[in-house]
Amino acid sequence: MDYIRRTLESVVKNALPSFPVTVLTGPRQSGKTTLLQHLFADTHAYVSLDLPDLREAARDDPRGFLDLFPPPVIFDEAQAVPELFPCVRERVDEQRDRNGQYILTGSQNFQLLPSITESLAGRAAILHLFPFTQAELAGEPNRDLPWHRARRNVAAVDMNHWDRFVTGYYPEPAVRSSMDTPHWRDSYIQTYLERDVRTLSGVGDLAGFRDFLRVTAGRSGSLLNYSELAREMGLTVNTIKSWMGVLQASFQVFILHPYHTNIGKELTKTPKLYMTDAGLMCALLGLTTSEDLLRSTYAGAVLETAVVNEIRKRIAHTGQRNALHFWRTAAGTEVDLLVEAGQEQIAVEVKKTATPRAKHASSLRTLMNDLPDRVKTGYLLHSGEETLPLAGGVTALPYGVL
């Protein structure tokens, strides 16, 4: 498989001269090792802590282990040995001027692990690599989002996106045409259950957790109601919250929080839930072809999940903070995404329609009327081919131009 350039490459390279430790996290098999070996094979040793003997050696004698593998070095899956982190801190504190010495990767969100965060505070650049974006797969890793482009450059449309949603954006199935995608996804889920879930929380009921994964996939793009999930699953609210925390820590889901203002209109305070990859979402829902997806009741939710993830990944892969929210009134008027752009917010609504019309932009216009000083630009992302202006300053864009 030929190497596909990632947007994050320049961000990682720029972090090394500025920080003694660079941390790269993201879902398992999102391409972290491939990216680092592509960039630093000639400058950094590579040590995988996924290997049982190396993992045990590092746990038993972390200082001695660091002596065996002096910097510059990459420690892959470093979350497996939390004992290393305070010792790495000792080493970098001894030689503060030696930036770029340690690169740590992990398939768990280090920012959710307090002991690790405390050890690295002020010493590490923490970056995230997610599965491929559309731009990366198109060979344009530095392509801007539509609202950052000149209108004349908003052009080519990829009409194969329903097939792409089912395949997903993880590197292996995304770029290998000969890949048995259903088998890969089943293996990924099984590996995730047997390794990451047990490691993170000691979940004993793996069959129950797999059912929880399926239910979660069916709610991607919906408000996150723990009590409702608990009733549906026949579990306690605390168990649901604990299991959801496992999904967050392993980058399988993310939580999108609502946007709040001091205007008079009452807004929801309940967050929304999204799967991190449309392909895994489809797999968990039993959707194996684009025909299955389009005939299902989940097509709109999969499209919304794909759009929100694409924008989230594109921002994260530039090293920026994910300043994303959604907007929903107590009466149920909702805009799927607000993207921070300086002092303004870009509003994005997702519709499955291939024939965008003014009526589809009603929520966007409501938001723009309520917050005229903060939201001046609105986009309707749809599944068709047309780029056209709609009433009230909203532009309809096909998903394929992202």
- Domain coordinates in residue numbering, the chain: 9-128, 135-401
Burial class (CB in 10 A: 0-12, 13-18, 19+), 172: middle
Residue-level pLDDT at 174: 86
The total of other beta-carbon atoms located within 10 Å of residue 79's CB is 24
Phi/psi at 73 (5° precision): -150, 150
pTM metric for this prediction: 0.91
Instruction: Provide the β-strand partners of residue 21.
Output: 102, 124
Nearest Cα residue to 323 out of 312, 336, 310, 309: 312
Instruction: For 25-64, give one letter per residue: b (16+ CB within 10 A) or e.
Output: bbbbbbbbbbbbeebbeeebeebebeeeebbebbeeebee
Residue 304 · residue 350 · CB < 8 Å: yes
Token representation of residue 195: 């390794």
Chain CA centroid to CA 36, Å: 19
Residue 248: its H or E element: helix 237-249
Instruction: For 5-16, give one letter per residue: b (16+ CB within 10 A) or e.
Output: ebbbbebbeebb
The distance between the two most distant Cα atoms of the chain, rounded to a whole number of Å, is: 67
Whole-number Å distance between alpha carbons of 45 and 160: 40
Token representation of residue 105: 């990767």
User: From residue 383, how far is each of 222, 360, 397 by CA, in Å?
Assistant: 20, 13, 9
From the options 3.30.70.20, 3.40.50.10800, 1.20.1540.10, 3.40.50.300, give the CATH code of 9-128. Answer: 3.40.50.300
Per-residue pLDDT of the chain (402 residues; tens, 9 = 90+): 689 999 999 999 999 998 999 999 999 999 999 999 999 999 999 999 989 999 999 999 999 999 999 999 999 999 889 899 999 999 988 876 678 899 999 888 866 566 666 778 788 898 999 999 999 999 999 998 888 765 444 444 454 789 999 999 999 888 876 556 778 888 888 887 777 777 766 677 888 888 999 999 999 999 999 999 999 999 999 999 999 998 998 899 999 999 987 555 677 889 999 999 999 999 999 999 999 999 999 999 999 999 999 999 999 999 987 789 999 988 889 999 999 988 889 999 999 999 999 999 999 999 999 899 899 889 999 998 888 999 888 999 998 888
By DSSP bridging, strand 45-48 and strand 73-76 are: parallel
Residue 259 · residue 345 · CB < 8 Å: yes
Q: Where are the beta strands (DSSP E) in 305-393?
A: 324-328, 334-341, 344-350, 377-382, 388-390
